[in-house]
Amino acid sequence: MIKLNIKSFNKYTVLSILSILAGLFHYIYWGTRYEIWYDIGIYSITIVLILPGLIGVILFLMSKKQKQEI
């Protein structure tokens, strides 16, 4: 199970969240501007922005286990 740690929030997490927001904004803007919600061009650009953003958030917020030295 993936355990997310909010304490490891850093600039890369912010960049990932901005990437997700840019993808969502692009999809909504393009869909409302041209009234095309099912175009493959919208999906291709949106996926390129949202998928790395989601992966980045998950990777940078995962808690790291530290080895204890005895």
pTM: 0.80
Is residue 67 in a domain?
no
Domain range enclosing 10? 6-61
Q: Using one digit for the tens of pLDDT, what is the confidence trace for 3-47?
A: 777 777 889 999 999 999 999 999 999 999 998 888 888 999 999
User: Within a domain: residue 69?
Assistant: no
Confirm whether 70 is domain-assigned. no
Q: How many structural domains comprise the chain? A: 1
Any domain includes 12: yes
∠ CA 25-26-32, nearest 5°, is: 90
pLDDT tens profile 46-57: 999 999 999 999
Residue 32 lies in a domain: yes
Q: Please report whether residue 21 resides in a domain.
A: yes
Cβ neighbours, 10 Å, residue 40: 7
